[in-house]
Structure 1
Amino acid sequence: MSIILNRAGARLLAGTALILAMQIPSFAHAGETAHDAAATLADIDQNRDASDIVVSGQRQAIKKVQDEQLDSKSLVTIVSGEELRAQPQQNLADLLTRIPGLSSSVSQGFNMAATGEAQYVSIRGLDTSYNAYQFDGVRLAQTDQNNRAISMNLLSPFSLAEVRVDKAPTAAQDGDAIAGIIDFVTASPFALPDHYFQVRTQGQVNGRAAARDQDSLGGTAQIETAQTFDNFGVYASAYYGKKNVYGEATTMHKDYVKYDNNVPGSIRDNLDNAFGRGVSWNVYQNKIERFGGTLNLEYKGDAFTLYSRSTYGEYRLKSWMDQTAIRQVDLSSNQINPNPGGGMYDADGYVAIYGVGGSNYFRTEHNKQRLFTTKLGGDVTISDRASADFYGAYSKGRNEYPFRLQAKYQTPAYIGGDNTGTATFQLITSNNDAIAPRVVLDDAARAYLTDFSNFKETYSTVQFQHVEESKGEGAVNFHYKLADQGLSAIHAGAKFETADRGSNGINEALSYDFSGDNIPTLDQAPGELVTEYMHGGAQIPFFIYDHDYIEGQARELSLSKLATVDPDVLNEQKLDGTEQRLAGYITADLTSGGLSVVPGLRFEHNRFKATYWQSEDDGTTDTSHFVTSTKSYNQWLPSVIASYRPDDSTVYRLSVRKSYTRPAFGLLVGPTNITYDVQTIDGKPVRTIKSISVPNPDLDVTTAWNVDGSLEIAGSGTDFFSVAAYYKRLSHIWFATSTDSTLVGIPSQGSDNIEVTSNDSSGKGDVYGVELFGRYSFKNLPGVFDGLGLQASLTLQRADATIAITRGADNQPVREKRRMPQAPQVMLNAELFYNHGPVSAALNYNYSGNKLADVRNPQPDTYMQPVSMMNFTANYSISERFTVGVAVENLLNASNYWATYGENSALLSVDRSGGYIETGRNYFLNLSYRM
């Protein structure tokens, strides 16, 4: 990895040093002034008299959100936008892991893990679909088909004043938030200095791409301003970012089979009996663009306030995957399998796979996501006791894969000798290195599998899909103050929400299969060889296609078939639906000295309606047609939240509440999802159905009783300490994760041994854990050590559920206890920070323990191995207005994704589950100028 540092990091750091060297003579006097000012600011973390604190910048923002946390009615964790923007990443899913109890996750179903960025955020051991997501209090449009998660790809830390994570909401907030509510709050013009203007720029180098001589550069620019004119204020922000990320992955090519077929039970019952059927090596080239903006308008009158808050974000990904593999392939007609019946096992029942082939596979996962939200509202003072607030809002999101290309070249089977007659060469995969398995080859096999003239193109196919939702909502809340003590206030309100959902796609109809005598071979395709690869390299040289060539071929041969596709095929994935929610609540404030109690009751009525294509073909008559399904839920949600404040810097909390989570559209209604397996027989691709997933309109909502307790203590400056414990009892659990498009349900055997899966909501589960947080600045350190501090959070938790795994001989569900998906048992975030004079720096380490990704049968469950990340950032204030900084992301060059079958690390997963992925380090140069 020294190559990466020499080519990328050294280049960037040297450039930074040159900038500083050129500036020192000219701003020596200004630097002294800045040093004095920054030294005064550093006193905030040393001064124990809060009344004398002079607060500025990031520390002011940290202190502000700490005060908000203490004053909150419920258990809220808040992180300031300034603190988020100080980190090298710009992806919110990764940034939010700084908050106690939060972990991030990523979907590899569409190669997203290879971008080096997480997509989703999990709160307290629950999958992200158990969260509620808001932008300035507006529920965001949802564009994931099988869950209610919101991708953080669309959201940027730019323009955010803070991110609030409410882990124990009151009855005044949405009740479909078992895990909690994440609210992204944008800046108010009245919260910033008069005539505020700031520009931020960032240059970026991806070290792994630079080491492989691929596109490696990127950058971001952001501009924001706040202007106030008496009672009227305007805040505006815009940003644009572009980056290149080069990822490498090693995976198993196919699911494991038994080594000894005489051993009873499935592979999941005896992982030591698993045998791999080949290895894949993947290269991912990703070009990511983000852009968007925020416009907030506010008017403050004597008796009322009006505001408008609007935000737009767009995420564009160009993703190319090249894969080379040594794998099991079917024999040709002139090749003989010596096993009994031509199967995979010899006469003694031990695996003996004949037919070793090489393949070169290409896939694109180009993705576009858009999200727009706008909110118009205000508040009014009715009398000295009564007030009200109101708003109307709109959110629209779209997630599309407009051109999903797959193409493959493959060799005929190699069997040894002259490659005809009875096979003698077996496929044997060595797992001695868990992250770098190898196929055992002799010289003849190696020569055959590395000759690109043996690779013939088998197919080229194009798929596309999209999901979009438009959501509108309106709410009004009334507040009436009665007294300072006792029953001090009553609050009541109502909310109406409606959403229109639409989705469509096409799967296998546009496939072009190559046949005949003039089939293209890999040695004829334009492209380039990449010889460098992680952990010993790939056993077949990496050939990366020319993107224009392979995509142009697909448009000519595959996409051109769209004009002749059966119209019914275009309806098979079509779904149109609506969802409406009507809610009302009442809460009271009970106050006695330092004790406050907020009892409340909320009612929510939900109704779904969807129209989708129902395939009904009995082999003789096709009666497929559109059908409509409806579903409704009613939920009564009581809650009690108590807070005790013995002094201004301490608060104890206890909360008991009921909450729920609604199934997503794709789980209740919609088209059937079919998974295909492709084999090449006699040089021709043969597609067979592997499994079928069927929506279940009878799914219940998941409900939970939640108990939360916490203690928060504010110290001097930004010192802060908290401890929280929580317990959740869940009923009607369904496992459908945000990180995999496959539903986790009860499989049963359909016709032709095809596995048919439909989700189930009969599970029960428990979540419990403890969160610890501390921030402390060391006092009275000598000289340059003055300014050191530590911040750390630790979460220890368990999240388990008893769910239906499979069906027994009597066709009844067989239930087993499983960890809940995306729930690490250990989460750690530790930071050493430094603020002295004009210099600020931080070394941050984040660790997330292993977690269940999905439940499988008869194959082993998929687990994510622990992920750790260390980042470094340093900034120098040249003046009060100008700051320059450098940062390194993934300082230890760790893997960012590692999926295995089974909880330990012995069995690497297949490529659709991710396998082992590295994207290397990223190096940053940051510049900021403020007027």
Structure 2
Amino acid sequence: MGHWNKRTALLLGGGMVALIAQGQAWAATPRENTVAAAASDTPTSDNDDQTRDGETIVVTGQRAAIKTVQEEQVKSASLVTIVSGEELRAQPQQNLADLLTRLPGVSSSVDQSRNAASTGEAQYLSIRGLDTAYNAYALDGVRLAQTDARTRAISMNLLSPFALSEVRVDKAPTAAQDGDAIAGVIDLRTASPFDFGAHHFQIRAQGQIAGRAAARDQDPWGGTIALETAQQFGSFGVYASGYYGKKNVFSESVAIHKDYTKQNGNVPGAVRDNLANAVPVGVEWNIFQNKIERFGGTVNLEWKGDSTDLYARTTYGEYRLKNWMDQTAARSVGLTAGQTNPNAGSKLGSNYDSAGYLAMYGLGGTNYFRTEHSNQRLFTTKIGGESRLGDLTLDYNGAYSRGATSYPLRIQAKWGSPTYIGPNATGPATYKLITGLADRTNPQVVLTDDARNTITNLDNFGQAYTTAQFEDSWESKLEGRLDGTWRFGDRGLSSIQAGTKYEASKRYSNSLGDDGALEYDFTATDPNMTKLTAVPGKRLNGFMNDMQVPFYIPDHAWIEAQNAKLSLSKLSGIDPVKLEENRLDGKEHRASGYILANFAFGGLTITPGLRYEHNWFQGRYWQDNGKTAGFTTSARSYDQWLPSLIASYRPGANTVYRFSVRKSYSRPAFDLLLGPTSVSRDDSGKITSIFVPNPNLDAVEAWNVDTSIEHKGAGTDLFSASLYYKRLNHVMFSTGSTNATGDLNVWTSPNSQLSPDGVEIETLDTSGEGSVYGVELFARYSLKGLPGLLDGLGFQGNVTLQRADATVYVSNGYRRQRMPQAPQVMFNTELFWVHGGFNAALNYAYTGNKLYDLRSSQPDTYVQPVSTMNAILSYAVNQHLTAGVSVQNLLDSHSYWSTAGVGKALLSVDRKGGYVEVGRTYMLNLSYAF
């Protein structure tokens, strides 16, 4: 499983202790004692940890919710992990991607190319070492519309735990569920009005302070308020909830400015082939100011009749992010008039001397500004019912979902110092740019006093450009479903289930500005250029390490006004045809049907099933072949037969053994399959990559084998262990990413080629094969018979060990490669205490390193291990009011750390993330129910 450091070994040792303790307790928690304890108001040594005094009703409610979903999990027909909404809302985080990493086999990821790691929140979920796009996502059974054109992964940013009754992660779904779920199904379920008393109302409020923002004299305040009510009127019930949250997050990062290069240019091969010969080029320091807003609500209507139940469930969520990034850098810049490069004529180019060793001339300090504002919206509604006609039960529903993501205005602006070449401002350059990595998270450029004075004198920083970009996408989806179940008896063939489903969706995406069409170039139009210190703003009062160029933060309103005047004013003059060149309109239809049977023989249940799915895609997009340009249309279809078999054995009510084998698949993201050629450029406008969609892509297919054991003990005690194996064909690495091109984690195909100017043309290839295997262990145990204040102590832990690899084509050949977003080790542990009205928890989560993306000549990018510790304390003042405090990231650990190569020695470059710290968040929590 790779290198095991001391921390990992310690954590795994703790997990084994938890499992051993649970095993010893197993025999002491027979079902009879559990039932008796649950029915009693008097605690016993073998008591249910829910049975406390009446004064702790709020705490009891949370524990009871955990117990309920555990019992549901053990009774489930397939291998599913369930977490209650009460447990989620008790945690300090509000982001579902972070919350769900508490579950075995679930890890999270973030796309730092859009500065997302700077928010301190994860975006995407990975199940069992598979790409985030290999999950199926549903809200109340409705497949969620995609909010991003370039991945089938769903960002968890805009989903809130406030209205959820539970979240189910089904890792071995039956034939009755959608088949495009190689990793599993993430099913979010909102509350029913009949989950509460006849008349229920609750208000939750939370105040937040961002510790890093407070330390840097930035706005640290945030808060959330959530309301919910459930009202029953006989057979009719109404549930409604709404929430609004706002917070400020200030974070800091450091990264290498440009790709690594060879120290000795004579060494053959690519940079990735000899990392000992790789050296960094320049350093950048970044600060991020984030303002995050979340709001939304749920309205559920239900009517229960003697033979028919009807419902209508509607949810809306919105996530708004304003992200301002300020960057300083000591970096390589071009020589100016009167400056000459001594390497002229070198056979290895201008960066190497005559002997072939790196000799880079031209040092500059820069101040760069970028916004990454985004808006995400998701709406789902579902109307349906259940009719019971004797032995036949019919489930039917129709649903609509719409998701949208927009980047309403992406502003970039840059200022730079004069080029420093040595003591003489003109003539042959004598000063070499050398970047050191003695401290792997605090790289430094070697500076003389003269060089330092040149790149830190902000009075000499002139503005180079200001530019703007736009991007937006949406999908709307309609679906209808009918399922029927015929029940025959309790033994032999107990039931047959069959159903059909139809989906139809439309999507749109477009962008403008990637080609510099809205750029205003000061170097070409304004020889005086705006000096940085002439811009309203202020200097930063501190940073996490040694920045070599000071931070001057320009006033955001001033930059936006300047951009509107110089950059956005060009919009009216752009050829309307140009506005359509990145547009993609698409349609997608899916028709499916299934049949499965349930056989029962005492404690043994066998469920064979078969599902068929037909997918059809069509896209309309702008295509320019060099001679003619215009809109073109192309289409593609897939057919999948998906057999499955699930067997469960229950020797008693509290124990279940499961085995399943099934076939599943994953569809390519729409605009990886169909759409226009995309061009990516760097900050100077130079083309860095060209991506061409591939209409001949195959769907990724997998055979999945799962086996597990679960045992439910007293109270919330639970033990589970599972093994899994997946065999994948037509593997494709296209992980969840919101970046347009150049960071899609794709590899070039065997037929890739170079553009006329030498840039490699990238396209997807699905000739790879892969495998995933692993083990998951989980234990939750409440210690029994402890005296005094120790009464109520317990612990929970889970550990996942896994391996996910594929043989893929990269640049010029096939190689065996770890799959993206697949940590080999994941560990979560929690020490909890429930005593009187107190509820406290200290939890720790660790995720091992994982591949972020593949690169051809450069080292692949890896995300290094990340860990976080959270502390929670609450007190039930009475049956209505609960108050508490919590701290997120108690140890002030980094939130993100990416490197070039699997080791920690080489910090990653710009847009791959670098090293990011967000700091601690402190929270005050109040809840009132009546």
Q: Give the TM-score taking structure 1 as reference length.
A: 0.93
Deviation at 1:45, TM superposition (A): 9.4
Equivalent residue number for residue 517 of structure 1: 527
Instruction: Flag the 1:40–1:424 CA change in 2: closer, same or farther, 3 A.
Output: farther
Report deviation, 1:359.
0.7
Shift of 1:51: 11
The aligned residue for residue 721 of structure 2 is 723
Q: Tell me which residue corresponds to 1:5.
A: none
**Cα distance in 2, alignment partners of residues 129 and 447 from structure 1:** 49
- Equivalent residues in 2 for 1:783-798 (5 A)? 783-798=788-803
1:116-164: per-residue Cα shift (whole Å, max 9, x none)? Answer: 1000110000011000000000000012222100000110000100000
**Distance (whole Å) between structure 2 residues aligned to residue 755 and residue 556 of structure 1:** 36
TM-aligned CA distance change 1:837 to 1:417, over 3 Å: same
In the alignment, the residues of structure 2 paired with residue 891 and residue 923 of structure 1 have an alpha-carbon distance, to the nearest angstrom, of 9
Of the three residues 542, 555, 558, the one matched with 1:532 is 542
2:492 equivalent in structure 1: 486
One-letter code aligned to 2:479? E
1:306 and 1:379 in contact (8 A); partners too: yes
Counterpart position of 1:293: 297
How far is the alpha carbon of 1:49 from its aligned partner?
11
Deviation at 1:333, TM superposition (A): 2.4
2:922 counterpart residue number: 923
2:747 maps to 745
Amino acid at match of 2:530: P
Counterpart AA for 2:271: I
Are 1:434 and 2:440 matched, yes or no? yes
Structure 2 equivalent of residue 26 of structure 1: none
Kept in 1, the 8 Å contact 2:65–2:86? The answer is yes
Which AA in structure 2 matches 1:850? Answer: N
Task: Supply the distance in 2 between the matched residues of 1:68 and 1:51 (Cα, whole angstroms).
Answer: 20
Inter-partner Cα distance in structure 2 for 1:627 and 1:174: 31
Comparing 706-715 with 449-458, greater Cα deviation is found at 449-458
Match of 2:671, SS?
A: helix
**Aligned pairs for 1:120-131 within 5 A:** 120-131=124-135
Contact 1:45 1:719 (8 Å CA) reproduced: no
Q: 2:904 maps to what in 1? A: 905
How far apart are residue 624 of structure 1 and its match?
0.9
Sort the Cα spacing of 1:458 and 1:758 in 2 relative to 1 into closer, same or farther, 3 A: same
1:367 has 2:386 as partner: no
Q: Which moved more, 1:154-163 or 1:45-54?
A: 45-54
Alpha carbons 1:223, 1:239 under 8 Å: kept: yes
Preserved CA contact (<8 Å) 1:205 1:217: yes
The match for 2:708 is: 710
Q: Distance in 2 between matches of 1:722 and 1:168?
A: 15
Q: Report the residue type matching 1:579 in the other structure.
A: E
For 2:863, the aligned partner's letter is M
2:340 & 2:771 partners in 1: Cα distance?
A: 54
Partner of 1:246: 250
1:670 shift after superposition: 1.1
Residues 1:429 and 1:161: Cα distance change in structure 2 (over 3 Å) = same
Q: Secondary structure at the match of 2:757?
A: helix
- In structure 2, the CA distance between the partners of 1:197 and 1:625, relative to structure 1 (3 Å rule), is same
Identify which of 145, 150, 157 aligns with 2:161.
Answer: 157
1:504 equivalent to 2:510? Answer yes
Which residue is 2:401 aligned to? 395
Aligned CA distance change for structure 1 residues 658 and 42 (closer, same or farther; 3 Å): farther
Amino acid at match of 2:689: S
User: Deviation digits for residues 453-487 of structure 1, max 9, x if unmatched?
Assistant: 22111111100000100001000001101121001
AA of the residue aligned to 1:548: A
Preserved contact between residue 220 and residue 241 of structure 1 (Cα < 8 Å) = yes
Aligned mates of 1:253, 1:141 — CA distance in 2: 37
Q: Which residue of 2 aligns with 1:29?
A: none
Spell out, residue by residue over 1:830-868, the C-alpha distance to the aligned partner (whole angstroms, 9 max, x if none).
Answer: 000000001110000000000000000100000000010
Q: Which runs of structure 2 are paired with 1:729-878 in the superposition (5 Å)? A: 729-739=727-737, 741=739, 742-743=743-744, 744-746=746-748, 748-807=753-812, 814-878=813-877
Q: Give the deviation of 1:40 after TM superposition.
A: 9.1
Equivalent of residue 189 in structure 1, options 187, 193, 197: 193
> Of residues 662, 665, 673 in structure 2, which corresponds to 1:668?
673
Taking the TM superposition and a 5 Å limit, the aligned residue runs for 1:86-235 are: 86-235=90-239
Distance 1:387 1:691 in 2: 55
Cα pair 2:148 2:404 within 8 Å, conserved: no
Q: 1:305 to 1:83 in 2, by over 3 A?
A: same
Task: Classify 1:380/1:752 alpha carbon distance in 2 versus 1 (closer, same or farther; 3 Å).
Answer: same
> Which letter maps to 2:142?
V
Q: Which amino acid aligns with 2:916?
A: I
Measure how far apart 1:65 and its partner are.
0.4
Amino acid paired to 1:94: D
Aligned residue type for 1:842: A
Aligned counterpart in structure 1 of residue 654 of structure 2, from 649, 655, 663 = 649
Distance 1:251 1:293 in 2: 39
Partner SS state of residue 309, structure 1:
strand
Q: Secondary structure at the match of 1:255?
A: strand
Output the CA distance in 2 between the equivalents of 1:336 and 1:50. Answer: 78
Q: 2: CA distance between counterparts of 1:878 and 1:50?
A: 18
> Are 2:481 and 1:475 equivalent residues in the alignment?
yes
Whole-Å Cα distance in 1 between the matches of residues 45 and 299 of structure 2? 34
Deviations 1:192-212 (A, max 9, x none): 122111000000000000000
Change (3 A) 1:691 1:918: same
Q: Is the 8 A contact 2:794 2:833 kept in 1?
A: yes
CA contact (8 A) 1:105 1:739 kept: no
C-alpha distance in 1 between matches for 2:604 and 2:45:
30
Q: Deviations over 1:727-767 (max 9, x none)?
A: 00000011111146323121532212111100111100000
Cα shift readout 1:163-186 (whole Å, capped 9, x = no counterpart) = 000000000000000000000000
Find the counterpart in structure 2 of residue 9 from structure 1. Answer: none
CA contact (8 A) 2:42 2:51 kept: no
Cα offset for 1:224?
0.3
1:567 alignment partner, one of 576, 584, 587: 576
Matched, 1:445 2:451: yes
Query: What is the CA–CA distance in structure 2 between the aligned matches of 1:340 and 1:904, rounded to whole Å?
Result: 36
Check the 8 A contact 1:44/1:717 in 2, yes or no.
no
Q: Residue 337 and residue 488 in structure 1: after superposition, are their counterparts in 2 closer, same or farther (change >3 A)? A: same
SS in 1 for 2:811: strand
What's the offset of the Cα at 1:567?
1.7
Aligned to 1:682: none
| Superimposed CA distance per residue, residues 600-645 of structure 1 (whole angstroms, 9 cap, x where no aligned partner) | 000000000010010222xxx5x21000010000000000000000
Q: Which residue of 2 aligns with 1:587?
A: 596
Q: Percent sequence identity over matched residues? A: 59
* Inter-partner Cα distance in structure 1 for 2:50 and 2:650: 18
Structure 2 residue identity aligned to 1:911: D
The letter of the residue matching 1:926 is N
2:630 pairs with one of 625, 629, 638: 625
Deviation at 1:519, TM superposition (A): 1.1
Tell me how far 1:53 sits from its aligned partner: 12
Amino acid at match of 1:757: E
Deviations 1:680-702 (A, max 9, x none): xxxxxxx3211101111100000
What amino acid does structure 1 have at the position aligned with 2:353?
Answer: D
Counterpart CA distance in 2 for 1:516 and 1:443 is 30
Q: What TM-score comes out, normalization by structure 2 length?
A: 0.93
SS in 2 for 1:391: strand
Flag the 1:42–1:370 CA change in 2: closer, same or farther, 3 A. Answer: farther
**2:454 partner SS:** helix
1:376 maps to 2:376: no
Residue segments in structure 1 that go unaligned for 5+ positions in a row: 1-37, 680-686, 808-813
- 3-state SS, counterpart of residue 404 of structure 1: strand
1:553 aligns with 2:567: no
User: In structure 2, what is the Cα distance between the partners aligned to 1:252 and 1:673?
Assistant: 26
Secondary structure of residue in 1 paired with 2:72: helix
Match of 1:310 in 2: 314
